[in-house]
Structure 1
Amino acid sequence: MKNKSGRFINLEEYVSINGIKQFLFHRGTSDDNPVLLFLHGGPGSVESLFTQAFQEKWEEIYTVIHWDQRGAGKTLMKNLNALPTMDLMLQDLFEIIRYLKKKYNKNKVVLLGHSWGSVLGSVFIKKYPEEVAYYIGVGQVVNMLENERVGYNKVKQLMEQEGDKKSIKQLESIGEYPGEKIVFNKEFSHKISRIRKLQGKYNLSAKIDLSFWKTVFKSPIFKFSDLIAFMKMFKANKEIFNFLGDFNLDNELAGYKVPIYYILGENDWQVPYTIAQKYFEKIDAPNKEISIIPDAGHMAMMDQPDLFFDALLKINNVEMKNH
């Protein structure tokens, strides 16, 4: 039976996962489609509220599941004291995949990780490759320290080209950035938000502006408590930010047992696509493909929804052929 949204699958639910109730949002057109689990960014910044901005076409080829992670969104508001560590996150993800496989009668799921979600996804597929059909990295993080160095140098270069003395002055007033090691304390969080603002001015990073909030408020699943969760994001994810500060995929072998696909925005200098592109060349996997989307930044699926979908469709077709 179809529902108001006209989607065969349209479900919001809280599921008992790893000792707490966690929020899942399912959308799709057929039980036969592969199940794609979307790992949001942040840490702590849910993307279940943005589905209507990019996902409609995806639902023709995948059953798309958004999970508000521990320490984020609706899951955080239900469990204010159940805060994430990397071990808990990996266990949560493992149990959610098990739950989805059973619910949709699948052997494996497709994992799509965006930004911080690409960190969680990359670590997970190394640990549990047998659970995942293939992995899609979007705004793929490889090395957090390198990210910030490259992104800083890019915005500085553009300011100098433009002769934008005011912005250069603002950049210089931040002081040394990012330093030798990233420690997500108050001082660094303040610096990073100032850097993002300046990068935003040059369309190098995702903007939290009026259109961002309009999309949030229009979401069919939006509640005002989601805003409270957004404000609690940094405090709730302290442990995860510490993990992220030291994260570097180059510290281990780039061998994977599942096919790897990257979809990167050519204007993404928040998580510079050039770093992921370089790492991609080293990857050894059963299959691998990279798509670089023109005129798209860190939120590539929202910046260029049609081109992003074309990249997804291509991946889906390759995987269908291979199986």
Structure 2
Amino acid sequence: MKNKNNRSICSAEYVRINGIDQFLFHLGTRFDNPVMLFLHGGPGSVESLFTGIFQDRWEEIYTVVHWDQRGAGKTLTRNPDKLPTIELMLQDLFEVIQYLKKEYNKKKIVIFGHSWGSVLGSIFIKKHPEEVEYYIGAGQVVSMVENEQVAYNKVKETIEQLGDKKSLKKLKSIGEYPGSKIVFDKEFLRKCTIVRKLQDKYKLGVEIGIDIWMAMFKSPIFKFSDIIAFMKIFKVNSKVHSFLGDFNLRTESKEYKVPVYYILGERDWQAPCVIAEDYFKDIKAPNKEIFVIPDAGHFLMMDQTDLVFDALSAINKKESGYPIATIANPLFL
């Protein structure tokens, strides 16, 4: 595997985790840096293939470890019949952390959860706060039902303001959306597809340009089997989707025993920033800060690479003992 930046830490491996071989990708510059475990989105959408777009500067202050979760990426390719449930994934996560603590001689690990990873991470830090130094939620999911309600209302408002009668008719044709509960069946997916296409039309959706796909092909760990794995993720993650449809952080205690940081894209309407901001106001944690990244969507790390790094740098300094007043960062709210 090529070590493009001549990192002192650059390795890809399969580790026996919870009875199956699971894929880990390590990148970093110093063994004494905090270890950050990156929890990718989806379920099933690995982000280990896109590190070249956004992660180079992260590796100066963290050792970043990407884990292709059960039912995703290279772990799915190696274990096509070992399908995930939320219980299995939480146990997998616990064992990955034990491995990393031993490998890097750390007492605790930093968790960075993006999108679906923010669901998994938020549940885990409630169950096992003793394992986590602090938690960073990016594109933080609070409630799936609320996400879809707010996203629908935003695109409807935009269409009405622009007088697009054809799109409004199409939107109204789906009827009530998403309903009081999300069930990932064919009817919901049909409605969701219409909403997503209209979001894309008005730049309210997830924007994936050609540069992102090129970065994937150039990744030192890319294989064509990764594309095949991606095509299977919806089917193999059906039990996790069932859990996700009911997910709502608001029904849980808002007290956290670890520091909690959110980094949000101001124009994220996939996991709407406004929902996470509202929820964050009420949580209690040893330390907490929220960063809202201007002109960034759901893939905020790729949209505004420098500003997201600035947020991570401020968090890193704060958790390293720097007084908050000495950290010059206009993104603190």
- TM-score norm. by structure 1 comes to 0.97
Instruction: State the Cα distance separating 1:3 from its structure 2 match.
Output: 4.4
The alpha-carbon distance between structure 1 residues 27 and 317, as it changes in their structure 2 partners (threshold 3 A), is same
> Residue 153 of structure 1: CA displacement?
0.2
SS at match of 2:308: helix
Q: Percent identity?
A: 68
**Residue identity in the other structure for 1:134:** Y
**1:82-117 deviation per Cα after TM superposition (whole angstroms, max 9, x unaligned):** 000011000000000000000000000000000000
Q: Secondary structure at the match of 2:281?
A: helix
**How far is 1:296 from its partner?**
0.2
Structure 1 residue runs of 4 or more that deviate by more than 4 Å after TM superposition: none
Q: CA deviation at 1:138?
A: 0.4
1:132–1:258: 8 Å Cα contact kept in structure 2?
yes
Can you list the C-alpha shifts for 1:287-311, whole angstroms capped at 9, x where unaligned? 0000000000001110000000000
Find the aligned partners of 2:307 and 2:190 in 1 and give their Cα distance.
34
**Counterpart mapping for 1:1-323 below 5 A:** 3-321=3-321
CA positional deviation for 1:209: 4.7
Alignment deviations for residues 159-211 of structure 1 (CA, whole Å, 9 cap, x no partner)? 11111223223222333210121001122123223322221222222134534
More displaced stretch, 250-259 vs 195-204: 195-204
* Most deviating of 197-206 and 142-151: 197-206
Distance 2:36 2:306 in 1: 18
Show structure 1 runs of 5+ residues with no match: none
Which amino acid is 2:293 matched to? I
Matched letter for residue 215 of structure 1: A
**Deviating more after overlay: 41-50 vs 179-188:** 179-188
CA distance in 1 between counterparts of 2:43 and 2:140 reads 14
Output the amino acid matched with 1:44. Answer: G
Q: Contact between 2:53 and 2:212, CA under 8 Å: does it hold in 1?
A: no
The aligned amino acid for 1:216 is M
Question: How many angstroms apart in 1 are the aligned matches of 2:91 and 2:322?
Answer: 29
The change in CA–CA distance for 1:169 and 1:216 in structure 2 (over 3 A counts) is: farther
TM-score, structure 2 length as denominator? 0.94
The amino acid of 2:148's aligned partner reads E
Do 1:45 and 1:73's aligned partners in 2 also have CA atoms closer than 8 Å? yes
Indicate the RMSD between aligned Cα atoms, in angstroms.
1.4
| Cα distance in structure 2, aligned partners of 1:32 and 1:201 | 46
Stretch moving more, 282-291 or 217-226: 217-226
What amino acid maps onto 1:40 in structure 2? Answer: H
